[in-house]
Amino acid sequence: MTAMKTIQLYGIPNCDTVKKARDWLTAQGQDYTFHDYKKQGVPLDLLPGWLKAVGRDTLINRKGPTWRKLDAALQASVVDDASAIAVMQANSSVIKRPVVVWSDGAITVGFSPELFAQRLNQA
């Protein structure tokens, strides 16, 4: 008998969207594992898969304050997955949150109760 894979939620604990996602999962009685970028670092080995699943435009938060504080040359240097990974590794707060790896392996970015409910029903 194989163990059911747990939902993995990635982000930073003081992010309002991450808090909402964690609260929602808890309210549903759903177990999950939280990975804190600030304490545990960005999971470098997972970034290529995330980029393949959702794309740079979804994974990188170009509207957030961290992105806006980067100098224009660094922003302009993000032209492919390798350059995106370098920027995300150095500036974890540019990664849109939360990144969720669902028990079935699907990857989503961000939080909405509707999306999460739909994912739980598919798992």
Active site residues: 15
Q: Are 119 and 105 in contact (CB under 8 A)?
A: no
Reference 121, options 97, 94, 102, 107; nearest CA is: 102
Q: Name every residue whose Cβ is closer than 8 Å to that of residue 3 and which is 6 or more positions away in sequence.
A: none
In degrees rounded to 5, what are phi and psi of residue 98?
Answer: -80, 155
The string of DSSP letters for 5-47 reads: PPEEEEE-TT-HHHHHHHHHHHHTT--EEEEEHHHH---TTTH
